[in-house]
Structures are given as structure tokens and as C-alpha cells.
Amino acid sequence: MLDRVTRAPAATIGHATAVGAVTATGDATVPPRRLQRLRRTAPLRDLVAEVGFTQSQLIQPLFLVENAADTGPIPGLPGNVRLTRESALAQLDADLAAGARQFILFPVPARKHVRDFDPGFACDTIAALRRRAGNDASLWLDTCLCSYTADGHCCLHDTRGQQDLPATLDALVELALQYVAAGADGIAPSDMNDGRVAALRLALDAAGHDLVPIMSYSAKFASQLYGPFRGAAHSAPTHGDRRRYQIDVRARRDALASSQRCAAEGADLLMVKPGMSSLDLIQPIADATGLAVGAYQVSGEYAALALLAREGFADFDAALLESWYALRRGGAAFIITYGARLGRTLGLAAR
């Protein structure tokens, strides 16, 4: 059994910058854990409830596109579409009426850049969704660079083509601060770059957002199961792949260590991705860190169920519900799934 993570002493707080938040030994100088972050609103409390299984523990992805020409159904993900600001408001209304209370937003800007990203569209849409939802929903923001960068990578590169980690962390921090200022309830870093959770936690706290939780993609594997998502988010890399920063599917110890590091750096919630092929990791990560660990039922996993149903080999609703129970049986405290809005229809209580 891996040892539980420990926090840096409170006396060290204030002596680290966002980019310099992790020491050479990997220790993060972050504040003691604020347990109240996940008590702050009713949707957050429902998300991490440990008794029963309800629709409130399912998180619905929404793809927000700036370019109206990019709207429409997402291949492989029935019932999911790319949304403009206006159609996102209508979708939110429908999802709230269907009992969904947790959402993770994926902004897709119209223009991509090498650096100096503009999240204006994303922030305007977040603010509009926040006004419409009030306190009835949690809005999590996937925080990554892949939909913003010209090359589709989750990091920035220097003039030699090597990863520029300090600049990457700065860019992630800037996006997160603007998302929260616009009305995001929580930040979900998915990039898998070293030190990003500590950088985000320190920056959020310094800006007065110490009660904003971080849901870290702590064990995200380099997988073949992300295809429909990358099409929806316009985030496929134009060169190379992401194996330099995402976890090798054979590396169990790396997944555990990555999750422990995220916990030590200040994450409030952890996650495995892909969910169905990471069932062996959920409970060990929870045991090692003491944190709630969720699972992302990724686009390829969801699309596989849809394909089975389309070919007449399975009942989609029954297969989807079966997959959720398998993830819960494996220890998942919450599930990101493209069918979260179907929870009540499939028999789950609202909360």
C-alpha cells in the first residue's frame, strides 16, 4: 500500500510562486486542505455523497463552440451536440429539467494560437450559463490548452520544439483565473503537465478563490479511446502524440504516483481516464490519498455502447446503466459520462 500524501506546513505558504510551486524533489508548498470547498453548495455536496447512487453523481459534458459553423451532432456520441452560447442556454434548461446538476464545459475557440490565448468567448458563455443556472448546478471547467493551441497539444513549446513547462503553467493559470471570475464553480485540469495542480491552487488562493475546488484528471492515460472527443473539441494534435505527458497504459505505478502528487499539490477530487479500462486503479488511488476519485467514461467507451446498440447487439439504455454500476462498484465517487442527462430516465434518483 502506498503511503498517504502529506501537506506542506502552513508556515511555508506564501514563499512559492505559481510556476515555482513544486520543488526539485516534487514536494508542493500548498496550503492545508480546505475541506469546506466541497461543502459550499448543494450540488457539490450531492456530488460527493457516499451513500447511494444518484443522478447528482453524474457529470454531463457540454462542448461550447465559438464558430457557429461548428455546431451540430457529435459523431459517435448520440444525444450530444456542439453548442453556441445561445443553444448552450437552451441545452442547460433541458438538462436541468431532466435532473442533471453537474456539468463540465469544454470551450472550443474559433481561432487557435501558439501563445497568448483569448478565452473571451468561453468566459462570456460561462457567465451566461451561471446566470441561467443560479445555484442549481455545478459548472466545472476543463482546463487545458489543446483546444487553444495551433498544434493541438496540451502544452506550449519553446523554439527548439521542447515543452516549455513554466509558460504552460502560466497559461493554464491564466485560463483558470478567468474561468472562475466568469462564474465557474470548479477547475478540472486535464493536461497532465507536472506541477499544474500546485500552480493552480496557489494562484486561485492568491486571487481570493480559496473555496474553488480542483478536480484533477490525476490518472489520464495516452489512449486510443478519445477519438470522438477530439473531433468535437478540435483538439487532435497536428504532429506527434501526447505520450510525453500522458501516462503509458502499462504504467500502474505512474498512475498511482501521479494521483498522489495531485493530492499533495492541493487537488480536492481526483479522476481516472479512461474510466472503464482503469477500474483496477480507482479504489487504490482513493485508499492512498483519502480523496474521492471519479471516472471519466470517455467518448470511445460511450461510442462503443452506441455502436453495439445500433448493430442490434445490446440495449443502449441497459448497457449504459450497467457500465455506470460497474464504475461505481469499482469505487468511482462520481462519473463523467455523455449520458448524464439520461440518469433519471434510466431510474436513478435525482439526489
Question: Annotated catalytic sites, by residue?
Answer: 220, 273
DSSP string covering 114-141? SS----HHHHHHHHHHHHHHTTS-EEEE
226 phi/psi in degrees, rounded to 5: -105, 10
CB of 173 closer than 8 Å to CB of 198: no
How many angstroms separate the CA atoms of 340 and 47, rounded?
Answer: 13
Q: Which of 153, 84, 95, 152 lies closest to 122 in space, CA to CA?
A: 84
Cβ-in-10-Å burial (0-12, 13-18, 19+) of 243 comes to exposed
Q: What are phi and psi of 276, to 5 degrees?
A: -65, -30
Return the SS3 of 279: helix
3-state DSSP of 221-275: ECCCCCHHHHHHHCCCCCCCCCCCCCECCCCHHHHHHHHHHHHHHCCCEEEEECC
Q: How far apart are CA 235 and CA 306, in angstroms?
A: 22
